[in-house]
Each structure stands twice: as structure tokens, then as C-alpha cells.
Amino acid sequence: MTFENSLEYARAQDRIDPLRAFRGQFHLPHRGGRELIYFTGNSLGLQPRATREMIGRELDDWAEHGVEGHFSARSPWYSYHEIFPQQLAHVVGALPEEVVAMNQLTVNLHVLLTTFYRPDRKRYKIICEAKAFPSDQYAMESQVRLHGLDPQDAIVEVAPRAGEHTIRTEDITAVIQLHSSSVAVVLFGGVNYYTGQVFDMKAITAAGQQAGAFVGFDLAHAAGNVPLDLHGWNVDFACWCSYKYLNSGPGGVAGAFIHERHIANPSLPRMAGWWGYTKASRFEMKSGFVPIPTAEGWQMSNAPVLSMAAHKAALNLFEQAGMQALAEKSRLLTRYLFYLLDCINTDQGHTAIEVITPRGDGEHGCQVSMLMKERGREVFAALAAAGVLADWREPNVIRIAPVPLYNTFEEVWQFGHLISSILSTPGAQAPSI
Ligand SMILES: *Cc1c(COP(=O)(O)O)cnc(C)c1O
């Protein structure tokens, strides 16, 4: 693939983009009447235009039917969530029985660790990535303490080597092997939120299971971003949120995956509630929990229909676009960004921007993290003033995520052009977009 650093070229790429029509399906944020360049879909995905109507439908049915909406709404609330296994299975590479939409992400992490983290005197360690997302760190720490163990001893972190930003797969598997007699769970992100590194989930799963551990992934930054094959990789459990790449709204209903070989095992300990109870006899309200023999057996509460309406509107778009087409466009968008950043460094005559996201096939998704070697804050402020929504991480990292459903090559070009202008003119203001 040979790219060109020009607005005409970027626009030409947009014209031949098979997914170009999807941008029109979203509300694009504005400021002062001007459309912004939105590169923070890894933090909160944009609102699909269909969302309002989908939620409105449930509000109308609630107004009209009251409690009877559970059975007489146009999409009865009693079974409202049952469409998700099909839609989510496509997104995360699973069998429909293996996935369920429920709760929130950190809650699901706890729910799944309750089942899969069953430490005993011998096996009690959790192996994870260093600098995992804070909520995951707190979840692991508190799980360890719930079992009366010491996080210092029980949590083993794998870090990048000195001078490197990303974690090598061989280092992860080496640490797993080193602790193979004491590891209970291996828990990694699918995509590291800081560097954008996609972990080799297949290799980590194989290594963890060979060591006798259960292996799980937090897919917050992976679901809807990179191709996943949770079933094929033999992952034991996983969870994700729906408000990042999945565009299902702030605090939207999250998801969970439990591998086929575990779902029908009623003896697996779990946090139980009535919505995980066998459907045919749920309303007999008998004592003694009999789980649904699918991932729904981990469901505790009845479905949050309003947030699920938003989820449905968003997943419909994933279904229409197809994960493969999305992955293909994402690859091109991100590679174009890599190319433009390389152009900037060449123009500057030195590395002004160090891309810390790995560039290899399958090693990155949408997100690109840039270590700004000079004038980082100034560049970030100028980008913001010019109408680009990006993300700043201390001490000097700018993260952006060109998202294939609604971002364009032109926007990526504008981003590179703005940075180039700022770096080439000391102290100057960025031009307006
Ligand atoms: C976004 C994110 C979270 C947020 O958790 P919530 O329970 O949805 O608030 C947790 N973990 C990771 C890795 C994330 O990226």
C-alpha cells in the first residue's frame, strides 16, 4: 500500500470507502456550530441516529402498557435481551450460548472472577499486565483480599522490558511458566488502553491453560475494535463494556463471555439471581438455584431495557457493516496515520513523535498512542483549539482512535496536517479546520 500525503488523496480514499455511508448514521459532535474531528471513540463512541427512536419506543410502550410491557411491548421486555447473544457472538467471535449482555464491565469482572478465581493454598496467583486499567487493578486486588490473601504476593504483573513500551508475548508466557505451580488465573486486557497494543490472546490462553490456570480477558478496548475469536482461542471467560467502540451510550449495558465447556456446568460456583434461573420454571419461584445452561446462567437481574435499546441500535450497525469490513477499513485508516506521522518525523529531520503502538499485523486496532518528544502539551492544546477531540495521558502521550464506522481519511489527514503545521511554526496557533 502506498499512501500520499495530500488532502485530495485522503478525499479520494473516502470516496471509494465501502463503509462511507455509515458516518451519516451517527450524530457528530459540534462546537460553536462547527463539526469536530472526533477521535475519542475509544473512550465514548458516538451516538447512532437510530438510538433515540429505539429508546423512545420502549418509553412509549412503558407509558402505554405499564407492567404488561414485559409481555405486551412490541419487543417484550421479558425476552428483550435475547437478541444480543446472536449480535454479540459476531462481534467477539463466540457461540451465541457463550455470551450475555448484562451489568457493567467492572461488575462483570467481579462476577466472572467469583466463578473462575477459586484460590487454594497451592494455586492462588493472578497474572496480569503491569499498568492494567485502574478499575481492573482494584477488582483484582479486592478479589484477592476477599479470599484473605495478600495482593503483593498474589498478583503478578508482567511489564515491558526497560526502554520498551509494549509487553512481549514471550515475556508473558515466560512469567506464566515461572508461576505454573501457583497461578490460578491469567487476566489480561485484549488491547492495552494506554499503548493500544493488542495482546496475543490465543498464545496467552494456551500458555495459561497449559499451566493449569483459567484465562480471561478484559475486552473494553477490543470489543468492536479488533477481530476476536474467543471461542476458537479457547478463552475461559471475558467481559467488555459497550460505550467505547460499541457506541451504546455512557454507562451502557456490558457483556460477558463464558466458554462453551463451562456454561452447562451447574456446579461452577457463581453469584446467582433469578434472571439466571432456568426459564421454563423461573416463575415457580422455588428455592434451589437451577442455572440456565448458557452464559445467561450468570445473569442476576432482569434486563435494563432502556440501555439495551441503545445497545440494539448500535449493534444493528455492526451487523450491517460486518466485522471483517470494519477491520479492513480500520487497518487502512490506522496505517495512513502511521504514514502521516512518519512524514512529520521526516520533515522535522528527527523523531518528534514516537509511535508507541505496535505496527505489526494484528498488533494494533484503531488506537494509536503517540509519545510527544517535544511541545506535546502545546500540540495537544492547539489540536483541541482547532476542533480535534483527542486524549492526553501524562506525562506526554496523545491517544487517538480513528474509528472505521464514522471517521474518515480526510480527518486523519487533517490531524497530521495540523500537527505538522504546529511543529513547523514555533509558537504559532494551529490553523482552523
Ligand atoms: C473503560 C474501562 C473500564 C471501565 O469500567 P466500567 O466498569 O465500565 O466503569 C474498565 N477496564 C478497562 C480495561 C477499561 O478500558
Domain boundaries, the chain: 7-35+322-424, 53-320
- CATH fold match for the domains 7-35+322-424 and 53-320: no
Burial code (b: 16+ CB inside 10 Å, e: under 16) for 389-420 equals: bbbbeeebbbbbbbbbbbbbbbbbbbbbbbbb
**Which residue puts its alpha carbon closest to atom 8 of ligand 1?**
105
Q: What is the DSSP letter of 198?
A: B
- Name which of 403, 214, 227, 244 is nearest 322 in CA terms: 227
Residue 342 burial (CB < 10 Å; 0-12/13-18/19+)? middle
| Cβ pair 28, 35 in contact under 8 A | yes
376 is written with which cell numbers?
Answer: 506535546
Q: Is 133 in the pocket of ligand 1 (CB under 6 A)?
A: yes
Q: Distance between CA 171 and CA 157 in Å, rounded?
A: 11
Q: Choose which CATH entry (3.20.20.80, 3.40.640.10, 3.90.1300.10, 1.10.287.1080) describes domain 53-320.
A: 3.40.640.10
Look at the domain 7-35+322-424 and name its fold. Answer: Aspartate Aminotransferase, domain 1 (3.90.1150)
Confidence at residue 432, expressed as pLDDT on a 0 to 100 scale: 54
Q: Distance between CA 176 and CA 399 in Å, rounded?
A: 30
Ligand 1: distance of its center to the CA of 253 in Å? 12
Instruction: Determine the residue type at 169.
Output: T
30 is written with which cell numbers?
Answer: 459540534
CB atoms within 10 A of CB 432: 9
Q: Is 104 in the pocket of ligand 1 (CB under 6 A)?
A: yes
Ligand 1: distance of its center to the CA of 220 in Å? 6
Q: Is 410 in the pocket of ligand 1 (CB under 6 A)?
A: no
- Show Cβ contacts of residue 302 under 8 Å, excluding neighbours closer than 6 positions: 77, 274, 275
In tens digits, the chain (433 residues) has pLDDT values of 799 999 999 999 999 999 999 999 999 999 988 999 999 999 999 999 999 999 999 999 999 999 999 999 999 999 999 999 999 999 999 999 999 999 999 999 999 999 999 999 999 999 999 999 999 999 999 999 999 999 999 999 999 999 999 999 999 999 999 999 999 999 999 999 999 999 999 999 999 999 999 999 999 999 999 999 999 999 999 999 999 999 999 999 999 999 999 998 988 999 999 999 998 887 777 788 999 999 999 999 999 999 999 999 999 999 999 999 999 999 999 999 999 999 999 999 999 999 999 999 999 999 999 999 999 999 999 999 999 999 999 999 999 999 999 999 999 999 999 999 999 887 655 555 5
Confidence at residue 279, expressed as pLDDT on a 0 to 100 scale: 84
Instruction: Please report the atom of ligand 1 found closest to the CA of residue 43.
Output: 1
Q: Is 129 in the pocket of ligand 1 (CB under 6 A)?
A: no
Confidence at residue 228, expressed as pLDDT on a 0 to 100 scale: 98
Ligand 1: distance of its center to the CA of 241 in Å? 7
- Show Cβ contacts of residue 75 under 8 Å, excluding neighbours closer than 6 positions: 57, 58
**Which residue puts its alpha carbon closest to atom 10 of ligand 1?**
135
Q: What are phi and psi of 286, to 5 degrees?
A: -85, 160
Confidence at residue 429, expressed as pLDDT on a 0 to 100 scale: 55
Q: Is 190 in the pocket of ligand 1 (CB under 6 A)?
A: no
CB atoms within 10 A of CB 359: 11
Q: Which of 133, 217, 248 to mutate to test the pocket of ligand 1 (most atoms within 8 A of CB)?
A: 133
Q: Which of 102, 113, 135, 191 to mutate to test the pocket of ligand 1 (most atoms within 8 A of CB)?
A: 135
CA-CA distances (angstroms) from residue 173 to 113, 141, 169, 170, 334? 21, 22, 6, 5, 28
Confidence at residue 433, expressed as pLDDT on a 0 to 100 scale: 54
